[in-house]
Amino acid sequence: MDAHVLDDITVVDLTTFVTGGFATLMLANQGAEVIKVERPGAGDDNRHSGPPFVDPDPDYDGPGRTADENGESPYFWTINYDKLSVEFNLKTESGLEALYDLVAEADVVIENFRPGTAERLGVGYDDLRDVNDDLVYCSISAFGETGPWSSRPGYDLLVQGTSGIMSVTGPEDGDPVKVGLPQTDLITAMWAAFGVVGALFRRERTGEGDRIELGMHDAALPWLTKQAGKAFVGEEPTRMGTKDPVLAPYQTYPTADGYLNVGCANQKLWGELCAAIGRPDLGDDDRFASNPDRVEHMDELEAELSEVFRERTTDEWVELLAEDHGLPVAPLYDVPKALDNEQTEARGVVREIEHPALGTVPVIEHPLNYENATAGFEGAPPLLGEDTEAILGELGYDAADIDALRDEGAIPDR
């Protein structure tokens, strides 16, 4: 089998929740060994995100344990496939030394403490570079390490607000709406993973490590794209429901039994759509002659097309327009249907991994398909501390050393 792109790369993950966790998840998908360093007893905050929770097999007697009394969080699974978990108390001298031993053998460290916290704990870039001088170190925070907001705490909800995303999301005449997934967490995570891979590539050429620093607010702003383009010329982007500020028709329309997304936003596609739905007169209407005309008269266009699309079911329109005429239309699915349909199944995006304590765990694979390399998750999400003793053993700790760490409170008692 072809090798993973990041085989032989070891990542020490000091993060909690989604921003850092999804960044290291992306690296794990490409073959990196990701070792989560978690707080003894509590672990990653994401372990406590629920309901829902799932009870482990009561007969399981292997390493690790459930961090939350309610069970294991499926949300945690989606951010932590194919990682290892160790519990180190970084507020003890021996726990910190164990981390240093781990970092000395690693390639990458990612942290998302509030600015200044890593340095206070002794795990800042300068601290860890002393034990590994070619380390790639990535720091993630809500608003970055400079500027008047740098000391503020932040989560996805806050950054969706400060980045302008919520101001352009929601019904035209309604309140601002949060995107229904942790968008700025995921945006930041992708930037972080991109930066880490870039720094590793540079290290291959120069032999030098690097420090990457980014804030969630900064990470979200480049994604404004067309909305930023309007703001740059003095216009104020507004909430438009499913409409688009610069393209039409490019929105959701009601059908006889659901909804249909239509993206016929150039002249060729517009003309073909008018013919296919039996309304060639719309193509001859001066209000809809060009894309700028259609954008200017978007409400009238919506009224005309909504009346047409209500005449048939979503499946009937998809068959006619997408299958028969090759036009860019698609159904609007709920999440269960998005995860379970013929296209998702054919691409093998959702599959299952066996976990000794949890049984079968569903996994969503990442979308990169290489011709000459392999990608994908090989391991289930770890129980809290599942790999503590095994990792310490690989670092040269014997049973007496591990017992001493336990006696000093550096790692939890079994």
Active site positions, annotated = 185
Q: What is the maximal distance between C-alpha atoms in the chain?
A: 84
Q: What φ, ψ does residue 115 adopt, rounded to 5°?
A: -50, 130
Transcribe 1-38 into DSSP letters.
-PPBTTTT-EEEE---SSHHHHHHHHHHHTT-EEEEEE
* Tokens encoding 109: 């460290």
DSSP 411: S
Residue 56 φ then ψ, to 5°: -70, 165
List phi, psi (to 5°) of 42: -105, -45
Could you give the C-alpha distances from 382 to 30, 65, 75, 85, in angstroms and in order? Answer: 18, 9, 13, 6
Residues linked to residue 33 through DSSP beta bridges, in sequence order? 10
Separation between Cα atoms, residue 301 and residue 285, nearest integer Å: 10
Q: How many angstroms separate the CA atoms of 317 and 329, rounded?
A: 8
d(CA 65, CA 387): 11
- What radius of gyration, in Å, describes the C-alpha atoms of the chain? 25
DSSP per-residue string spanning 72-132: B-HHHHHHHTTEEEEE--TTSHHHHHHHHHHHHT-SEEEE-PPTTHHHHHT-SHHHHHTT-
How far, in Å, CA of 84 to CA of 383, rounded? 9
Residue identified by tokens 């930023």 is 228
Which residue is associated with the tokens 């919506």? 302
Closest CA to 208 of 145, 138, 139, 129: 129
d(CA 378, CA 372): 18
How far apart are alpha carbons 262 and 333 in whole angstroms? 14
Q: Which amino acid is at 157?
A: L
